[in-house]
Amino acid sequence: MKILLAAMAVASLAAIPSATQSSFADLRETALATFEALPSATPTVSNNPITPDKIALGKALFFDPRISSSGVLSCNSCHNLATGGDDNRETSIGHGWQEGARNAPTVLNSVFNSAQFWDGRAEDLKAQAKGPIQAAAEMANTPAQVIATLKSMPQYVEWFNEAFSDEADSVTFEKLAKAIEAFEATLVTPAPFDAFLAGDDAAMTSEQKQGLALFMDKGCSSCHAGVNLGGRGYDPFGVVEKPSADVLPKNDKGRFLVTNKAEDSYVFRAAPLRNVALTAPYFHSGKIWDLKQAVAIMGRTQLGEELTEEEVGSIVAFLDSLTGKLPELAYPTLPPETATTPRPVSRNVGK
């Protein structure tokens, strides 16, 4: 793709030359061969027809801290929709103030990832949703306790019945996961980049367009491609050069823990880059807070490129064009507990 940059006659990155409409069209055409704009309708997901009732139920569940054994943590605690769909911490705080092992990825646009988690161990969002609820260091709950909690509240039972009206025994852990997936499928954030792909030359600044060209030219887009600019494949962290141990802790072997194959040691999912400007800190370790630094590390470790400060700035400008806007969400009113609602765990794990 070196050709592209040459064709645009971007001799110096200091100032973009007077770009013509045809050069924008070339850039868009090349970009459309690599990336994809967000769809305008809620995407479909496998084995889970998305309906308004299911979305509404899933939203309530997403925001409900009573899904956790402590009554303190909701999906939104670590995937906060007010702050880019993540929690802006190296790793998340869970039950008993335990720290998680990896940085919480954003839930925004996650429906477009080909699998979930940094190691892709959940094939979709309904599989993913079941993980943190049961993880001892996260919500520390059990499916039975979650279902007892939900069934104790008549309003929840009614919502499940409405959302899964064709099915018997509607309040199940499986259906909870499906409802959460349905809600999460609506968390799509159209960005200036999408408007540019759709034909609006003015949606991105010159610097951003220049950054887009560079992003493709340098090869970033060989992993960070598709609708989410990542989230599709797996690569070793350190294709060319291993990152330092503080960025790539030795004890987390990534996808090896899923596949048990030697070649998957220190292999992670290429991070989806939509809203990346909102989701510091970076990498599975959450060790890098500065997006410029993250880009420089990626250049060095994955591409063997020592990017100049100017090049890094240009790519970061492009990444800013991936910051999108969530549809407005009304904060839900959740069903009240009843006498039979299991009580929150009063103190630490196991107590």
Binding of residue 113 to a second copy (CB under 8 A): no
Q: Which DSSP category does 14 fall into? A: S
* CA–CA–CA angle 182, 183, 185 (5° rounding): 65
Q: Are the CB atoms for 178 and 126 separated by under 8 Å?
A: yes
Q: How far is the CB of 251 from a second copy (least distance, A)?
A: 17
Nearer to a second copy, 72 or 127 (CB): 72
Alpha helices in 81-139 (DSSP H): 125-134
Instruction: Give the number of residues in contact with a second copy, rule: CB under 8 A.
Output: 43
Q: How far is the CB of 219 from a second copy (least distance, A)?
A: 27
x/- binding map, residues 169-208, to a second copy, per CB under 8 A?
Answer: ----------------------------------------
Q: How far is the CB of 192 from a second copy (least distance, A)?
A: 15
Q: Of 215, 183, 186, 182, whose CA–CA distance to 322 is shortest?
A: 215
Which stretch, 204-212, 224-232, 241-249, 342-350, contacts a second copy (CB under 8 A)?
342-350
Identified binder of a second copy from the candidate list 29, 44, 49, 331, rule CB under 8 A: 331
Binding of residue 100 to a second copy (CB under 8 A): no
Q: Of 218, 301, 295, 298, whose CA–CA distance to 1 is shortest?
A: 218
Binding of residue 219 to a second copy (CB under 8 A): no
Residues 67, 332: Cα–Cα separation, whole Å: 15
Residues 321, 304: Cα–Cα separation, whole Å: 25
Q: Are the CB atoms for 266 and 237 separated by under 8 Å?
A: yes
Nearer to a second copy, 20 or 331 (CB): 331
Identified binder of a second copy from the candidate list 30, 75, 90, 191, rule CB under 8 A: 90
Identified binder of a second copy from the candidate list 13, 45, 93, 195, rule CB under 8 A: 93
Q: Are the CB atoms for 140 and 345 separated by under 8 Å?
A: yes
Residues 277-306 close enough to bind a second copy by CB under 8 A:
277-278, 280, 289-290
Identified binder of a second copy from the candidate list 83, 142, 165, 308, rule CB under 8 A: 83
| Neighbour-count burial for 210-234, b at 16+ CB within 10 Å, e otherwise | bbbbbbbbbbbbebbbbbbbbbbbb
Identified binder of a second copy from the candidate list 9, 15, 49, 99, rule CB under 8 A: 99
Reduced to 3 states, what is the DSSP secondary structure of residue 268? strand
Residues that bind a second copy (CB under 8 A): 63-66, 70-72, 77, 80-84, 87-90, 93, 96-97, 99, 277-278, 280, 289-290, 325-326, 328-334, 336-337, 339, 343-344, 346-348
